[in-house]
Amino acid sequence: MPLVETALQDGCFTITLADVEGRNTLSGALTAELGSALTRADEDPDVRVVVLTNSGRVFCAGANLREQSGDAASIKGVGLVDLLNTIRSSPKPYVGRLAGHCVAGGMGLAAALDISVAIDDAKFGFTEVRVGVAPAIISVICLPKMRPADASAAFLRGNRFDGTEAARLGLVNYAVPVDQLDEQVDAIVDDLLAGGPNALAAAKSLTTRVPTMTRDDAFGWAEQLSTSLFRSEEAVEGMRSYLDKKPAPWTIDGGRSQ
């Protein structure tokens, strides 16, 4: 049985972590399958939006400790750094549907997503210190989303907290009761499918590049980007459709939120 399942419908590519027995730990096998799914998402022109979710009660329990405590040379698959970089550098928007608990390395996977929804009673936590390590790699992704004081407390205590607190900390966008999870995710996906593909890629690049620049460099880069976007065929079609009160040509209505 595959550890990662995929499905494409109406421009939405759903990737499901399906190693229920293994609590979706980041084993070599699971990361290899997830890496392949992420590559397909990037390369398939029919994919407009990616949803990452899980089967079972756990979204991701972090590193596979049985593998990590063994011979490191025997661990196969894509590394966590590669997975996080692929998600963050992808031109396509990633939506998280976190239908279960999420701890340790799974926190980095969740925080790498562009927009995420978690069930409010799911348990989250940077539990690495409890097993003698630290959230080193995932700190690169998580720290920009958190207040320094909150990060210090969460990293050092290693305690668990619920989805509502994860949203307050900025690690996920929304926390909702389980019976509202699909409705919230579907509404987000529908919004994203109404955006121009090139415009979405540009909007995502703003969130990753502007914070790394000085203000003058950011203004210069953003001005060039804005000019190129307004001159693009996509923008011409989009503005014409808006003025004519018609859906833009790239709009996909899968009827998910109806």
pLDDT of residue 10: 94
Predicted TM-score (pTM) above 0.85: yes
Read off the tokens for 223.
Answer: 């001005």
Cα 5 versus chain centre, distance: 16
Alpha helices in 121-174 (DSSP H): 136-142, 148-157, 163-168
pLDDT of residue 74: 42
DSSP codes, 61-92 = --B-HHHHTS-GGG--S--HHHHHHHHHH-SS
- In sign, the C-alpha dihedral spanning 179, 180, 185, 190 is positive
pLDDT digits (tens, 9 = 90+) for 140-191: 999 999 999 999 999 999 999 999 999 999 999 999 999 999 999 999 999 9
pLDDT digits (tens, 9 = 90+) for 78-101: 689 999 999 999 999 999 999 999
DSSP codes, 183-197 = HHHHHHHHHHHTS-H
Query: Topology of 4-191 in CATH?
Result: 2-enoyl-CoA Hydratase; Chain A, domain 1 (3.90.226)
Q: Which of 100, 111, 93 is nearest to 190 (CA)?
A: 93
d(CA 56, CA 58): 6
- In sign, the C-alpha dihedral spanning 227, 231, 232, 236 is positive
Q: Taking the CA atoms of the chain, what radius of gyration do you get in angstroms?
A: 19
pLDDT of residue 63: 87
| ∠ CA 161-166-169, rounded to 5° | 115
Q: Parse the chain into domains and list their residue ranges.
A: 4-191, 196-243
Per-residue pLDDT at 104 exceeds 80: yes
Average pLDDT for 24-51 = 96
pLDDT of residue 66: 81
Mean pLDDT of the chain: 92
Average pLDDT for 211-217 = 95
* Cβ neighbours for 143, distance < 8 A, ≥ 6 positions apart: 151
The residue among 253 and 178 whose pLDDT is bigger is 178
The residue among 65 and 140 whose pLDDT is bigger is 140
